[in-house]
């Protein structure tokens, strides 16, 4: 099973200085995908988000309704079992133009799949395509939030004024402009992507990974799609986020306190004893990042993708260049806790 490998981040988000709360983002994934060589499955991507305590909603399709959607049921079960609190399952409508009978039959099958897995029928579904949105005359029984997922920010759809616009993730700047515009209007910003679109080196993956790093580094707040719908469209007050990004406070333990007078050095490397300090530095670095809640994973001394992403989040917090490399400036910042 491939492990999700985050990109090197090339830009960083500057949180609106005067905003009382962190800007809110919502992660949604379209369709269940098996993945393949070099292609992340939906399971891989959700596992990555869940490991960072990020809520995510997956809109699931049904490719074989006559047999009760066996492929999707198997994948959806494995994804839901990653974390029942963070993973939400929603339904995916048939394409625009299908009859009410076809849409209802599709929705009934998906509802059964989700109810079998979670014990409850879904409250949310997506409907998208060109001119996305639930069409006039089509209803989705039992679904509280049947929103069209649209590709541009427009709340004036002819069919349904309550469609959910999603951010353009073909550009990091465009995505963050969208987040700021939406949040300035007291609305959440929805990221909507197919897991197979997050290919290595793609701009979509870079944008996705940048937003994830900012959530971990507390420059953004992730909220669930259902919560977003409830607050965006019912006028309920938004869930307050942390008012301040985290910054390791004075008194945070020195990362290398297990060894007297030790600091992170340029000899940081995998499972190597530094000849000067005699320290397994990567493991110490991982413990430090974990104590800050940055999710470096098991302190195993191996500088893998989770450790890299935690370093990126630390760099974002500290206003350092977020490249995931523990260079001179990052070392100095960490070692300052040991002075
Ligand atoms: Zn879709």
State the residue range of the domain holding 211.
23-234
Looking up residue 250, the CATH number of its domain turns out to be: 1.10.101.10
Identify any residues that bridge with 164 across adjacent strands, giving them in sequence order: 149
Predicted local confidence at residue 273, as pLDDT: 55
20 vs 280, higher pLDDT: 280
Residue 183 CA, ligand 1 centroid: distance in Å: 25
Could you tell me if 228 and 324 lie in one domain? no
Whether residue 53 is found in the same domain as residue 135: yes
Query: What confidence tens digit (pLDDT) does each residue in 208-220 have?
Result: 999 998 888 878 8
Mean pLDDT of 184-201: 89
Return the pLDDT at 278. 47
Compute, in angstroms, the gap from residue 151 CA to the centroid of ligand 1.
12
Q: How far is the CA of 194 from the centre of ligand 1 (A)?
A: 8
The alpha carbon of 48 and the centre of ligand 1 are apart by a number of angstroms equal to 21
Number of domains in the chain: 2
Q: Distance from the CA of 310 to the center of ligand 1, in angstroms?
A: 31
Distance, CA 245 to ligand 1 centroid (Å)? 34
Report the separation in Å between the CA atom of 126 and the middle of ligand 1, taken as the mean of its atom positions.
8
pLDDT of residue 323: 83
Is residue 123 situated within a structural domain? yes
Q: Please give the pLDDT value at position 270.
A: 47
**In this predicted model, what pLDDT tens digit does every residue of 237-288 receive, in sequence order?**
656 555 555 666 666 666 665 554 567 776 665 445 555 544 577 888 888 8
Q: 58 CA distance to ligand 1 centroid (A)?
A: 10
Res. 158 pLDDT band, cuts 50 70 90: very low
Q: Per-residue pLDDT for 169 more than 80? A: yes
Q: What is the mean pLDDT of the chain?
A: 81
pLDDT at 61: 94
Residue 202 forms part of a structural domain: yes
The CA 103 to ligand 1 mean position distance, Å, reads 14
In angstroms, what is the span from residue 128 Cα to ligand 1's centroid?
Answer: 6
- Who's near 53: CB < 8 A, 6+ residues apart? 86, 295
Q: What is the pLDDT of residues 85-112, one digit of tens each?
A: 999 999 998 887 888 999 999 999 999 9
HEC string of 150-164 equals: ECCCCCCCCCCCCCE
SS3 breakdown of the chain: % helix, strand, coil, rounded to 5? 35, 15, 50
Is the pLDDT at 20 greater than 80? The verdict is no
The share of the chain scoring above pLDDT 70, in percent, equals: 76
- Give the environment of ion ligand 1: residues with CB less than 5 A: 30
Ligand 1 center to 211 CA (angstroms): 22
- Tell me, yes or no, whether 289 lies in a domain: yes
Does one domain contain both 281 and 211? no
Does residue 111 contact residue 134 with C-beta atoms inside 8 Å? no
Residue 127 CA to ligand 1 centre (angstroms): 7
């Amino acid at each position: 099973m491939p492990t999700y490998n985050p990109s090197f981040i090339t830009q960083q988000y500057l949180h609106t200085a005067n905003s009382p709360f962190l800007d809110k983002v919502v992660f949604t994934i379209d369709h269940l995908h098996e993945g393949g060589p070099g292609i992340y499955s939906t399971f891989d991507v959700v596992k990555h988000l869940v490991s960072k305590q990020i809520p995510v909603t997956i809109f699931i399709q049904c490719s074989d309704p006559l047999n009760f959607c066996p492929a999707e049921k198997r994948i959806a079960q494995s994804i839901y079992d990653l974390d029942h609190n963070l993973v939400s399952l929603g339904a995916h409508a048939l394409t625009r133009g299908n009859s009410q009978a076809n849409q209802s039959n599709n929705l009934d099958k998906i509802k059964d799949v989700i109810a079998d897995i979670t014990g409850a029928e879904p409250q949310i579904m997506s409907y998208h395509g060109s001119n996305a949105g639930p069409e006039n005359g089509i209803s989705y029984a039992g679904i509280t939030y049947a929103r069209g997922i649209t590709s541009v920010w427009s709340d004036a759809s002819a069919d349904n004024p309550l469609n959910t616009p999603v951010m353009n993730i073909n550009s990091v700047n465009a995505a963050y402009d969208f987040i700021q515009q939406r949040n300035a209007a007291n609305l959440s910003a929805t990221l909507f992507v197919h897991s197979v679109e997050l290919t290595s080196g793609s701009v979509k993956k870079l944008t996705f990974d940048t937003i994830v790093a900012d959530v971990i580094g507390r420059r953004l707040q992730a909220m669930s799609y259902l919560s977003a719908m409830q607050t965006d469209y019912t006028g309920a007050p938004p869930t307050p986020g942390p008012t301040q990004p985290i910054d390791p406070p004075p008194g945070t333990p020195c990362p290398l306190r297990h060894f007297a007078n030790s600091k992170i050095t340029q000899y940081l490397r995998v499972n190597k004893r530094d000849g000067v300090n005699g320290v397994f530095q990567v493991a110490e670095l991982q413990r430090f990042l974990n104590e800050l809640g940055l999710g470096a994973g098991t302190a195993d001394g191996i500088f893998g993708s989770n450790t890299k992403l935690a370093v990126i989040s630390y760099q974002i917090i500290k206003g350092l260049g977020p490249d995931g490399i523990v260079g001179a400036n990052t070392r100095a910042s960490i070692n300052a806790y040991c002075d």
